[in-house]
C-alpha cells in the first residue's frame, strides 16, 4: 500500500513483515525465549487508564520537549536498533535524515562489526549541522577501543552516551537462531575476529561476541573520567539498580528490557517506572534536572508516551516503530511515522487537557492495575 495509507505505527509493522526477507524479519521481530516480555511490553500500557481533564482551553497545545538539554519536537527519541541494512539499503541513514528534518533525536548505534549496519561516522556525516544525536555503546572487552570510540564520538558532537547494561550476553532469540548465518554457499557470513561464533547461532549472537561481560559498577567512574558527555545506563529494571546508578554519578537511566530481546519474563519498563521513581524520590527533590529516567519497550502510540510521562518518565524511546517504518518505506516511512505521532500528540493532549508537557501530571492516569504498585 502507498505510504499515505499508514494510519498508525502498527501499520508499518504489517508492511515490514510482508516485504522483509525472512531472516531480517526474524532478527527484528524476535524476543528472548518464549517472548513473554515482548508481549508484556505492549500489554502493560493497556493497564494504565487516563483521567482526562476538560474545559481547559486546549486551542494551543505544545508537545515539544527538551531531552538531555537538546530540543526535540516531541517527548520521544528514536532508540538504537542494529543492522538496519538488513531491512533497507540505506539502513539507519533513513532515520538520520528524517529525524534531522523533523527535529527528532536519533540514538545512533555502536559500531557493530558487520556490514549490515551504517557506521557511526556515516550517520554523523548524514546529520544536518547542529542536529543532536545520542550514541548507544556496547562496552568492548578491549577498553582502549571503547575509550577511543567514546572520545571520537564526543569530538564529533554526540550529545549523550547510552551505555547498554542489559546485554552481558545476548539473549536467546530462537526465531533468529533458526535462521542460519550462512550465505548461499554455506559459508559463515560473520566477519573477522568472530570465529568463536557457531554458524547456527543466529545473527544476534554472531555479532555480539565482543561485548564485555565483566562490566560492573566499578567501571562507571572510569567512564566519567574519559568523557564529558552525559552518561545514561540503558537497561535498568529495579529500584536497587536505579539507586546504584544515581549514586554512581551518571546522568540518567533507561528502564528497558531491550525490546523484550534479553531476559524473558522481566517486567516492562512502564511497569518498573512507579517503584523506581518512588525510590529516586528518597534521594531528594523530584523531578531532578540532573537525573533523567527514560522508558522504552512496546511504545507505538503518543498515548503510550503520555502515560509514561504521567508516571514520571523524562522522555520515551521507540525502537521497532521507526525501524519498521524505514523497512517498509525508507526515509519517507520514518517521516510519515513522525507525522503520525505528531497528530496523535495533538489530539491526545487536547483530550486529556494538557497544553504542554509539564501539564502532564500523575493525576492524569490511573495506574492501579499495574502489578508493581
Ligand atoms: C534493539 N535494541 C538495541 N539496543 C541496544 O542497546 N543496542 C542494540 O544494538 C540494539 N539492537 C536492537 C535491534 C533490534 C532489531 C531491536 C528491535 C532492538 C533495543 C532498542 O534500543 C530498544 O530498547 C527497543 O527496541 C525498545 O522496544 P521497542 O520500541 O522495539 O518495542
pLDDT value, residue 102: 98
Per-residue DSSP letter, 262: S
Question: Quick check: is 342 catalytic?
Answer: no
Q: In whole angstroms, what is the distance from residue 344 CA to residue 349 CA?
A: 8
Q: Which of the following is catalytic: 258, 264, 296, 304?
A: 258
CA dihedral 342, 344, 346, 350 (to 10 degrees): -170
For the record, the C-alpha cell of 89 comes out as 539499503
pLDDT value, residue 180: 63
Q: Which of the following is catalytic: 90, 110, 166, 304?
A: 166
Can you tell me the mean pLDDT for 273-296?
A: 97
Can you tell me the mean pLDDT for 59-65?
A: 98
pLDDT value, residue 204: 67
pLDDT of 259 > 60? The answer is: yes
pLDDT value, residue 190: 41
Among 43-47, 201-205, 304-308, the minimum mean pLDDT is found in: 201-205
Distance 372 CA to ligand 1 centre (A): 24
Residue 316 and residue 295 in contact, taking contact as beta carbons nearer than 8 Å: yes
Cβ of 296 below 6 Å from ligand 1: yes
pLDDT of 264 > 90? The answer is: yes
Can you tell me the mean pLDDT for 269-289?
A: 97
pLDDT, mean over the chain = 92
Distance 358 CA to ligand 1 centre (A): 28
How would residue 196 be classed by pLDDT, with cut points 50, 70 and 90?
Answer: very low
pLDDT of 217 > 70? The answer is: yes
Cβ of 171 below 6 Å from ligand 1: no
Ligand 1 atom with minimal separation from the 256 CA = 23
pLDDT value, residue 111: 67
Q: In this structure, are strands 252-255 and 76-78 parallel, antiparallel, or unpaired?
A: unpaired
Could you give the 3-state DSSP secondary structure of residue 153?
helix
Question: Quick check: is 138 catalytic?
Answer: yes
Can you tell me the mean pLDDT for 244-248?
A: 98
Distance 351 CA to ligand 1 centre (A): 31
Cβ of 146 below 6 Å from ligand 1: no
pLDDT value, residue 210: 82
pLDDT of 207 > 90? The answer is: no
pLDDT of 191 > 80? The answer is: no
Cβ of 319 below 6 Å from ligand 1: yes
Residue nearest to atom 16 of ligand 1 (CA): 81
pTM: 0.94
Ligand 1 atom with minimal separation from the 254 CA = 23
How would residue 192 be classed by pLDDT, with cut points 50, 70 and 90?
Answer: very low
| Predicted confidence (pLDDT) per residue in 333-359, tens digit | 999 999 999 999 999 999 999 999 999
pLDDT value, residue 206: 65
pLDDT value, residue 114: 63
Give, in order, the Cα–Cα distances in Å from 327 to each of 12, 18, 23, 192, 210: 8, 10, 13, 27, 27
pLDDT value, residue 194: 39
Question: Quick check: is 258 catalytic?
Answer: yes
Q: In whole angstroms, what is the distance from residue 320 CA to residue 371 CA?
A: 25
Residue nearest to atom 15 of ligand 1 (CA): 28
Could you give the 3-state DSSP secondary structure of residue 296?
strand
Among 144-148, 178-182, 330-334, 366-370, the minimum mean pLDDT is found in: 178-182
pLDDT value, residue 7: 98
Amino acid at each position: 500500500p502507498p505510504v499515505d495509507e499508514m494510519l498508525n505505527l502498527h501499520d508499518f509493522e504489517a508492511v515490514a513483515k510482508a516485504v522483509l526477507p525472512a531472516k531480517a524479519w526474524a532478527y527484528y521481530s524476535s524476543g528472548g525465549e518464549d517472548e513473554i516480555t515482548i508481549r508484556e511490553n505492549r500489554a502493560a500500557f493497556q493497564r494504565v487508564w487516563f483521567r482526562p481533564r476538560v474545559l481547559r482551553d486546549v486551542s494551543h497545545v505544545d508537545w515539544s520537549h527538551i531531552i538531555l538539554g537538546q530540543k526535540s519536537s516531541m517527548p520521544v527519541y528514536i532508540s538504537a536498533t542494529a543492522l538496519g541494512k538488513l531491512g533497507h539499503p540505506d539502513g539507519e541513514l533513513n532515520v538520520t535524515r528524517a529525524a534531522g528534518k523533523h527535529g527528532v533525536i536519533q540514538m545512533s548505534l555502536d559500531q557493530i562489526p558487520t556490514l549490515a549496519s551504517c557506521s557511526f561516522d556515516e550517520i554523523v556525516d548524514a546529520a544536518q549541522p547542529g542536529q543532536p544525536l545520542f550514541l548507544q555503546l556496547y562496552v568492548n572487552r578491549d577498553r582502549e577501543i571503547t575509550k577511543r570510540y567514546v572520545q571520537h564520538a564526543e569530538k564529533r558532537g554526540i550529545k549523550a552516551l547510552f551505555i547498554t547494561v542489559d546485554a552481558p550476553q545476548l539473549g536467546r532469540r530462537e526465531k533468529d537462531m533458526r535462521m542460519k548465518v550462512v550465505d548461499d554457499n554455506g559459508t559463515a557470513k560473520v566477519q573477522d575476529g568472530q570465529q568463536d561464533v557457531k554458524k547456527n547461532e543466529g545473527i544476534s549472537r554472531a555479532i555480539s561476541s565482543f561485548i564485555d561481560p565483566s562490566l560492573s559498577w566499578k567501571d562507571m567512574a572510569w567512564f566519567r573520567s574519559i568523557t564529558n558527555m552525559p552518561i545514561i545506563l540503558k537497561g535498568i529494571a529495579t529500584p536497587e539498580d536505579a539507586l546504584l546508578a544515581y549514586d554512581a554519578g551518571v546522568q540518567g537511566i533507561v528502564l528497558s528490557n531491550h525490546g523484550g530481546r534479553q531476559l524473558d519474563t522481566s517486567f516492562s519498563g512502564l511497569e518498573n517506572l512507579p517503584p523506581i521513581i518512588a525510590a529516586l524520590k528518597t534521594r531528594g527533590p523530584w523531578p531532578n534536572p540532573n537525573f533523567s529516567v527514560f522508558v522504552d519497550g512496546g511504545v507505538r502510540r503518543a498515548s503510550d508516551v503520555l502515560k509514561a510521562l504521567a508516571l514520571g518518565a523524562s522522555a520515551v524511546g521507540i525502537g521497532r516503530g521507526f525501524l519498521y517504518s524505514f523497512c517498509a518505506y525508507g526515509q519517507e516511512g520514518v517521516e510519515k511515522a513522525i507525522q503520525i505521532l505528531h497528530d496523535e500528540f495533538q489530539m491526545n493532549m487536547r483530550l486529556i487537557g494538557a497544553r504542554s508537557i509539564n501539564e502532564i501530571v500523575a493525576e492524569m492516569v490511573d495506574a492501579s492495575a499495574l502489578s508493581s504498585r
